[in-house]
């Protein structure tokens, strides 16, 4: 991954999340794919009990059960004192806006679709981006 122009050492998990037909990771994958072929796969929808982060949220909810969360500081303090697998989490406040709803136009996505190969039977969850 670090050999790809513009990747800056990102790990694979940053490229496999939410691989809908019109999402931006596909277009980023196409842009950086001058020198290498990529295979992108992400998990299909499944019950949240199988996702480790969902288990963390459940433990956090049990930890602060009955508490009045009347400030950001209190919520963060309780989050810092919970334990998951015997460890306290690293808790940081992120001030910023989460961009959501950003999609490619149909015309742009059709161009990208010409350059990717969807894997038969699991088209929604796995694509190959050949080296061009």
Residues 26-72: tens digit of each pLDDT:
455 555 545 677 888 877 777 777 778 888 999 999 999 999 999 99
CA atoms of 78 and 81, how far apart (whole Å): 5
Domain locations along the chain: 12-45+103-129
> Considering only 19-23, 112-116, 118-122, which range has the smallest mean pLDDT?
19-23
Q: What is the pLDDT of residue 92?
A: 93
Burial class of 26 by CB neighbour count within 10 A (0 to 12, 13 to 18, 19+) = buried
Residue whose pair of structure tokens reads 């790809």 in the numeric block: 4
Instruction: Name the percent of the chain lying above pLDDT 70.
Output: 73
Q: Which residues pair with 40 in a beta bridge?
A: 127
């Amino acid at each position: 991954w670090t050999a790809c122009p513009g990747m800056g050492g990102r790990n694979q998990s940053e490229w496999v999340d939410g691989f809908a037909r019109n999402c931006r990771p596909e277009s980023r994958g196409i842009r950086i794919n001058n020198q290498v072929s990529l295979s992108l796969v992400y998990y299909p929808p499944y019950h949240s009990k199988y996702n480790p982060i969902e288990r963390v949220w459940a433990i956090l909810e049990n930890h602060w059960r009955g508490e009045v969360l009347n400030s950001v500081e209190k919520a963060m303090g309780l989050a810092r004192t919970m334990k998951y697998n015997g460890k306290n989490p690293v808790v940081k406040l992120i001030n910023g806006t989460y961009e959501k709803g950003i999609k490619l136009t149909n015309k742009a996505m059709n161009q990208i679709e010409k350059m990717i190969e969807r894997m038969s039977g699991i088209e929604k969850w796995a694509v190959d981006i050949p080296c061009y």
